[in-house]
């Protein structure tokens, strides 16, 4: 007998909102802040150079791959130091980053779908990013948020999925993970034993060698419709 779905784990970036506009706005807003408060940093690290510096910091510190917020903070501190400015300015600059990071423009289907899904099942946010549900204003729809930073490793590590299942008090085969990335979300969740739903936002091509997800939708409202209809996932061989 196929176990019933008792809970949902849900990716955030590029599942509920597109991340690319957020990333671009962070870069332009931070650069404007540096122009006003640390002109030497703005001159030494225009947007393209700041982006390259962040990539270098990430390469140099692979052990922090699960903590994107800390990597951002360390990048800001290094930019200030290398520009000959005060690293103490990093706190104010990071506050600007945090504010912009949590100003999101939802996909048109996202909020309605999220509300409808939350009416059916408990939802846990499961993310490699550093979005803050309370700052965004949607925390009430979630049982909890589990980040890669909190867990200590990013998706597709099986452990982060299993920890979410434990906190949801559900066996992995009773949890449906919903996300946009075939490898990070779907393959990772499947490896951990969860059921999988690929929300195809047109951002990723499905790898030919990868087993299909248990379910494919293009909107969260379509997933809500599926739940409303009482549909049951077939067992994937």
| Per-residue pLDDT tens over the stretch 41-96 | 999 999 999 999 999 999 999 999 999 999 999 999 999 999 999 989 999 999 99
Q: Is residue 232's pLDDT more than 90?
A: no
User: Is pLDDT above 90 for 219?
Assistant: yes
17, 114 Cβ separation under 8 angstroms: no
The one-character DSSP state at 185 is I
pLDDT at 231: 62
pLDDT at position 130: 92
Q: Is 4 left (phi over 0), alpha (psi -120 to 50) or beta?
A: beta
Mean pLDDT calculated for residue range 123-151? 96
Contact between residue 129 and residue 45 where contact means Cβ atoms under 8 Å apart: no
Strand order across the 123-127 sheet: 144-147, 123-127, 7-10, 175-179, 195-199, 215-217
> How many Å apart are CA 162 and CA 155, to the nearest integer?
11
CATH number of 20-101: 1.20.120.1600
Question: Whole-prediction pTM value?
Answer: 0.91
CATH 3.40.50.1000 fits 7-17+106-228, yes or no: yes
Buried b (16+ CB within 10 A) or exposed e, 35-49: eeebeebbebbeeee
**How many whole angstroms separate alpha carbon 13 and alpha carbon 167?**
22
Residues composing the chain? 237
What integer pLDDT is reported at residue 1 of this predicted model?
42
CATH 3.40.50.1000 domain range(s) in the chain: 7-17+106-228
Instruction: Using pLDDT thresholds of 50, 70 and 90, give the confidence band for residue 2.
Output: low
Q: Residues 43-58: pLDDT tens digits?
A: 999 999 999 999 999 9
Q: Is the peptide bond before 217 cis (omega within 30 degrees of 0)?
A: no
pLDDT reading at 34 higher than 50:
yes
Every domain of the chain with CATH number 1.20.120.1600 lies at 20-101
Mean pLDDT of the chain: 94
Q: What percent of the chain has pLDDT over 70?
A: 96
**In the chain, which ranges are continuous DSSP H helix?**
20-37, 39-44, 47-60, 68-82, 90-101, 110-120, 133-136, 148-151, 158-168, 188-191, 220-228
- Quick check: 195 pLDDT over 70? yes
pLDDT band at 237 (very low <50, low <70, confident <90, very high): very low
């Amino acid at each position: 007998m196929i176990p019933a779905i008792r809970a949902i784990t849900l990716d955030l970036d590029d599942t509920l909102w597109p991340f690319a506009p957020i990333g671009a706005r962070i870069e332009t807003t931070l650069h404007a802040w540096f122009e006003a408060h640390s002109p030497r940093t703005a001159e030494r690290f225009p947007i393209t150079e700041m982006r390259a510096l962040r990539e270098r910091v990430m390469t140099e510190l692979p052990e922090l791959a699960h903590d994107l917020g800390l990597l951002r903070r360390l990048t800001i501190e290094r930019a200030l130091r290398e520009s000959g400015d005060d690293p103490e300015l990093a706190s104010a600059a990071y506050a600007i980053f945090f504010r912009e990071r949590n100003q999101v423009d939802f996909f048109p289907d996202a909020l309605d779908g999220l509300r409808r899904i939350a009416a059916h099942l408990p939802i846990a946010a499961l993310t490699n990013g550093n979005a803050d549900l309370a700052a965004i204003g949607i925390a009430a729809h979630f049982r909890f948020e589990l980040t890669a930073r909190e867990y200590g490793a990013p998706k597709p590590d099986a452990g982060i999925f299993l920890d979410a299942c434990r906190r949801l008090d559900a066996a992995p085969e009773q949890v449906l993970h919903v996300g946009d990335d075939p490898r990070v979300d779907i393959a990772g969740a499947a490896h951990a034993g969860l059921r999988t739903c690929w929300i195809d936002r047109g951002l990723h091509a499905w790898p030919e060698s990868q087993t299909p997800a248990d379910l494919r939708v293009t909107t969260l409202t379509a997933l809500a419709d599926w739940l409303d209809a009482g549909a049951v996932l077939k067992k994937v061989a």
